Amino acid sequence: MKSLFTEYKIKNLTLKNRIVMPPMCMYVAPETGMATDWHILHYATRAVGGAGLIVIEATAVSPEGRLSSNDLGIWEDAHIPGLAAIVKAVHDNGAKIGIQLNHGGRKCEAEGMDVEAPSAIPYDENFPMPKAMTKEDIAETVGEFKRAALRAERAGFDLIQIHAAHGYLLNEFLSPLTNRRQDEYGGSCENRVRFLGELLDAVRSVWPAEKPIEVRITAEDYGEGGNRAEDLAVMLNLVKDKGIDSVNVSTGGLINVVPKAFPGYQVPHAEVIRTMTGLPVVAGGLLTDPVEASRIVEEGRADQVFLGRELLRNPYWPLHAARALGADVEWPEPYRRADRKK
């Protein structure tokens, strides 16, 4: 039961294990979107702790696309040095690193910003009415993601993750619950995935061919008439040849509904995506037990597993998991006196 600690290769990126720290917003950036010492410490600590891949938090491609006024940004070149410092700290401590590129759509809460979405449907009564995006707005957003990808490459990231989950802009285009457009960006699955396809074309045109692109999706909207995993698989099949190398499978966030959650609750959705698309998947959902996490990989239910809250609670979970599973993993040299076998 050591599958969790086998190497994994995606494109030319080799990861030392199957453990992924997924993006989780810290909300500690200043309004400029600049990275801080907290970000460097936070991500470097998880690298020391043994995660194979760390994907940093939702990073806004435009000021208008921020989830809050305290999100990290990548909308201007001035952001590159701070992001590069995070990359260096993670690399220096033995992990690989990705960046999640995001536009928050109708869930943006940054002060003083206009809110955009595929259709003029608010998230709930406490959120503003968004403006329905024009085709010009869509084209501009595609350009913002493209320019963000260029900056991510300059900062040294190993992987880009496109955020198409949790009710943010791309997720809003994918779901019939939030996309009521009557043009070529709404209606059928082919139309609803068009924006993502155009964005993938743009990002792949500037992102090195040897580096992977991952898409994070919401595979279950938890609303009547919303997307299920099978719908997402159909849409992914329409655009996967545009450069998708992996899919991080999550659920929820599109509407204000709290799903019934339990350890591994998102794994069945990932299995559907993996089976129907043939794409590698990253799965999780409240995982804490090393045996359960390793079994998911061993049984071929997912190629990697993500642990979010558990890595917030315990940055060194991978080191302890390796010991529990009997995997031969070296601890960081300054900590080896603590790696007692008895």
| Per-residue pLDDT band at 341 (split at 50, 70, 90) | low
Do 47 and 8 meet the contact criterion of CB atoms below 8 Å apart?
no
Instruction: Tell me the per-residue pLDDT of 87-125, one tens digit each, with 9 for 90 and over.
Output: 999 999 999 999 999 999 999 987 778 899 999 999 998
CATH code of residue 60: 3.20.20.70
Instruction: Tell me the per-residue pLDDT of 10-33, one tens digit each, with 9 for 90 and over.
Output: 999 999 999 999 999 999 999 999
What is the dihedral sign for C-alpha 76, 248, 86, 34? Answer: positive
> Cβ–Cβ contacts within 10 Å for residue 26, how many?
16
Q: Position of tokens 């494109």?
A: 11
- Please tell me the predicted confidence (pLDDT) of residue 1: 67
Q: What is the distance in angstroms between the CA of the first residue and the CA of the last residue of the chain?
A: 20
| Per-residue pLDDT band at 153 (split at 50, 70, 90) | very high
Q: What is the C-alpha separation between 55 and 252, in angstroms, rounded?
A: 19
- CA-to-CA dists, residue 140 to 23, 54, 135, 220, angstroms: 25, 29, 9, 28
- Phi first, then psi, for residue 174 (nearest 5°) are -75, -30
**Domain limits at 41?**
3-338
Q: Position of tokens 């990073």?
A: 59
Arithmetic mean of pLDDT, 251-263: 95
Q: What is the C-alpha separation between 171 and 337, in angstroms, rounded?
A: 47
The 3-state DSSP class for residue 53 equals strand
Read off the DSSP letter of residue 325. H
- Please tell me the predicted confidence (pLDDT) of residue 113: 80
- Please tell me the predicted confidence (pLDDT) of residue 174: 99
- Please tell me the predicted confidence (pLDDT) of residue 112: 77
Do 49 and 318 meet the contact criterion of CB atoms below 8 Å apart?
yes
Q: What is the C-alpha separation between 285 and 282, in angstroms, rounded?
A: 11
Q: Has residue 56 got a pLDDT over 80?
A: yes
Q: What is the C-alpha separation between 313 and 287, in angstroms, rounded?
A: 12
Q: What is the C-alpha separation between 270 and 259, in angstroms, rounded?
A: 16
Total of domains in the chain: 1
Give residues with Cβ within 8 angstroms of 215, minimum separation 6: 161, 162, 164, 196, 200, 236, 244, 246, 247, 248
Q: Has residue 342 got a pLDDT over 60?
A: no
Give residues with Cβ within 8 angstroms of 237, minimum separation 6: 276, 277
Which runs of consecutive H residues, i.e. helices, occur in 74-157?
Answer: 80-92, 135-155
Q: Can you give the pTM of this predicted structure?
A: 0.96
Picking from 2-11, 209-218, 278-287, 328-337, which range would have the lowest pLDDT averaged per residue?
328-337
- Please tell me the predicted confidence (pLDDT) of residue 339: 80
Instruction: Tell me the per-residue pLDDT of 165-216, one tens digit each, with 9 for 90 and over.
Output: 999 999 999 999 999 999 999 999 999 999 999 999 999 999 999 999 999 9
- Please tell me the predicted confidence (pLDDT) of residue 273: 99
The tokens describing 98, both together, are 């990705």
Do 255 and 172 meet the contact criterion of CB atoms below 8 Å apart?
no
